[in-house]
């Protein structure tokens, strides 16, 4: 059905889109500065870069809270045609309204204070972590928790909800702590049982081959070959090195991936690259370029229709390529001969099956980012419980290390040796990023549920992967997830695509189905 609006509101809508595009361009300049800072900027540029970023942040905030923007949104909302249920214009307006209302609720002073306190607190955290001394960080973290609570109070939350919801909503729009808990609780129980069964079997795979010494340049060439084969467009993207790997959907036609090479453990960079590539394929698939999709002819760069749905959905894409594709037996049937030829280093003595088993080893470890697929979510659920208690005021910052260590041992079955490998390991809280952690596990859950559906749509998916063919997988993701931008909320997209609300079952089926046979349990 064509979407017809009155001329006056059409003009307002066009003006609104133009403003959003300008705001998007301004944000892309800031992302470029951020990317450069993490890759090539010399240390001497740090002070000037902070000044550049702070200026841009101020300009962006002024634009996001401009009363003219609010007037244009209201003008368009008054037009029934632009707001017809189910239309892309209605979805765009819904999200623009949401962003605007959120932005104007935050006082400029608080936004600036959060930015300043975050960057100071991050410096304190770095030193505290290096020296494994929580006491040094306690004051900064107390300040950040206080600011996060203030921010949540400004943003507000729905009736019957809690303060934490206001923070979670930024990363996972529309989701509440209560809903997260409802999915996490059964998942935690079943995962704990699964991890114990696997590790008590005493029949784990041998992962020695992951420690084969592979020179960084060979790892880089191998990674580039694989991401190109999976469909990452290197004419519209790059792969560079950094200390903390990330992906940046920098601008239309420009998506940057970064990775980190450790010569003594080639699998770190390889799966890191697969992960960031999953984020990158999503960024490249969002309708930011005109003519990218036949049925989405316009460029929606800067508008909600050109943005990702949520961090959870973003993570579902990275986890799919990293784990569901990259750690599957079929994938290694295709890739093992290439690994032998391109990486060498003795890997040629191991066949596809041996490599696949080695990269699926489960172990009780302390560090979240190094955790395997089965224990990873336990690390995330621990953080969710703790940060929720901090925001509720049920846990004081002073008692954080004790609470962390106690819960960690209960969940993972090993005592925490020190705070560096305990509550000081992640950067998030030092920046005041609270409500962020659950999106990692939500991503795994969305991923598993989407993957089951994709397997029904592509019955010979395993054969295709074993031949190194990923075109149909990517097309399915483009059609069902990427091209819609923020048209649907995460839960809505999940139901539309899979016919079911979000559930822990598909992820458990995936983990049990893959890992139990490897541990001689099925």
Residues marked as catalytic:
276
Q: Identify the three-state secondary structure at position 394.
A: coil
Contact code string over 379-408 relative to Zn ion, x by CB under 5 A:
------------------------------
Alpha carbons 415 and 422: distance in angstroms, whole number: 10
- The interface with Zn ion within residues 70-109 (CB under 5 A) comprises none
Stretch that binds Zn ion, among 51-59, 229-237, 312-320, 390-398 (CB under 5 A): 312-320
Please state the closest distance from residue 208 (CB atom) to Zn ion, in A: 28
Nearer to Zn ion (CB atom), residue 318 or residue 498: 318
Residue whose Cβ sits closest to Zn ion:
318
| Residue 247: how many other CB atoms lie within 10 Å | 26
Alpha carbons 254 and 280: distance in angstroms, whole number: 10
Stretch that binds Zn ion, among 78-86, 123-131, 318-326, 379-387 (CB under 5 A): 318-326
Q: Does 323 bind Zn ion (CB under 5 A)?
A: no
Please state the closest distance from residue 431 (CB atom) to Zn ion, in A: 16
Q: How far is CA 460 from the centre of its chain?
A: 28
Nearer to Zn ion (CB atom), residue 380 or residue 390: 380
- 3-state secondary structure string across 462-520: HHHHHCCCCHHHHHHHHHHCHHHCCCCCHHHHHHHHHCCCCCCHHHHHHHHHHHHHHCC
Stretch that binds Zn ion, among 43-51, 309-317, 329-337, 492-500 (CB under 5 A): 309-317
Stretch that binds Zn ion, among 85-93, 313-321, 339-347, 410-418 (CB under 5 A): 313-321
Please state the closest distance from residue 334 (CB atom) to Zn ion, in A: 24
Q: Does 430 bind Zn ion (CB under 5 A)?
A: no
DSSP letters along 401-466, please? HHHHHHHHHHHHSS----GGGTTTS-SGGGGT--S-THHHHHHHHHHHHHHHHHHHHSTTHHHHHH
Expressed in angstroms, the distance from the first to the final Cα of the chain is 52
Among 92, 273, 318, 441, binds Zn ion (CB under 5 A): 318
Contact criterion met (CB below 8 Å) for 203 and 519: yes
Q: b or e along 97-117 (b: 16 or more beta carbons within 10 Å of the residue's beta carbon)? A: bebbebbeebeeeebeebbeb
Please state the closest distance from residue 380 (CB atom) to Zn ion, in A: 12
Please state the closest distance from residue 258 (CB atom) to Zn ion, in A: 12
Contact criterion met (CB below 8 Å) for 505 and 454: no
C-alpha pair distances (Å), 140 with each of 2, 4, 128: 54, 53, 11
Count of residues interacting with Zn ion (CB under 5 A): 2
Q: Identify the three-state secondary structure at position 255.
A: strand
Please state the closest distance from residue 367 (CB atom) to Zn ion, in A: 16
Stretch that binds Zn ion, among 164-172, 235-243, 314-322, 360-368 (CB under 5 A): 314-322
Extract the tokens encoding 427.
Answer: 């950067």
Residues at the contact surface with Zn ion, assessed by CB under 5 A: 315, 318
């Amino acid at each position: 059905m064509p979407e017809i609006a009155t001329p006056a509101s059409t003009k307002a809508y066009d003006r609104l889109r133009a403003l959003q595009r300008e705001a998007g361009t301004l944000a892309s300049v800031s992302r470029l500065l951020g990317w450069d800072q993490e890759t090539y900027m010399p240390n001497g540029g740090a002070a000037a870069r902070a000044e550049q970023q702070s200026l841009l942040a101020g300009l962006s905030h002024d634009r996001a809270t401009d009363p003219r923007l609010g007037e244009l949104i209201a003008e368009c909302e008054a037009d029934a045609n632009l707001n017809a249920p189910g239309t892309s214009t209605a979805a765009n307006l819904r999200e623009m309204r949401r962003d605007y209302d959120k932005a104007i609720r935050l006082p400029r002073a608080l936004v600036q204070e959060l930015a300043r306190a975050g960057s100071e607190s991050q410096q304190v955290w770095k030193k505290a972590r290096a020296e494994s001394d929580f006491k040094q960080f306690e004051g900064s973290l107390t300040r950040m928790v206080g600011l996060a609570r203030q921010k949540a109070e400004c943003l507000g939350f729905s009736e019957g909800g809690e303060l934490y919801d206001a923070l979670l909503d930024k990363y996972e729009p529309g989701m509440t702590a209560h809903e997260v808990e409802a999915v996490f609780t059964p998942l935690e129980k079943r995962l704990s049982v699964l991890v114990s069964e696997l590790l008590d079997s005493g029949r784990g795979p041998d992962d020695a081959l992951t420690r084969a010494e592979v020179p960084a340049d060979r790892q880089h060439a191998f990674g580039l070959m694989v991401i190109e084969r999976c469909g990452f467009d290197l004419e519209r993207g790059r792969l560079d090195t950094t200390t903390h790997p990330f992906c940046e959907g920098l601008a239309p036609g420009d998506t940057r991936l970064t990775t980190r090479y450790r010569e003594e453990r080639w699998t770190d960079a390889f799966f890191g690259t697969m992960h960031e590539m999953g984020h990158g394929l999503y960024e490249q698939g969002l309708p930011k370029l005109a003519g990218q999709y036949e049925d989405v002819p316009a460029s929606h760069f800067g508008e909600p229709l050109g943005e990702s749905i949520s961090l959870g959905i973003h993570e579902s894409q990275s986890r799919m390529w990293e784990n569901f594709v990259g750690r599957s037996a079929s994938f290694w049937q295709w890739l093992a001969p290439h690994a032998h030829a391109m990486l060498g280093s003795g890997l040629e003595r191991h066949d596809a099956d041996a490599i696949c088993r080695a990269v699926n080893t489960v172990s009780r470890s302390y560090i979240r980012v190094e955790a395997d697929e089965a224990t990873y979510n336990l690390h995330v659920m621990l953080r969710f419980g703790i940060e929720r208690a901090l925001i509720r005021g049920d846990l004081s910052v002073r008692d954080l290390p004790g609470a962390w260590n106690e819960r960690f041992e209960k969940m993972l079955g090993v005592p925490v040796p020190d705070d560096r490998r305990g509550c000081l390991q992640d950067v998030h809280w030092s920046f005041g990023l609270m409500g962020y952690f659950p999106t990692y596990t939500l991503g795994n859950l969305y991923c598993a549920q989407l993957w089951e559906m994709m397997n029904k749509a592509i019955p010979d998916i395993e054969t295709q992967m074993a031949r190194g063919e990923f075109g149909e997988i990517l097309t399915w993701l483009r059609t069902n997830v990427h091209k819609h931008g923020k048209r649907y909320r995460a839960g809505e997209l999940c139901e539309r695509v899979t016919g079911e609300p979000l559930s822990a079952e598909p992820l458990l089926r995936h983990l049990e189905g893959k890992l139990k046979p490897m541990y001689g349990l099925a």
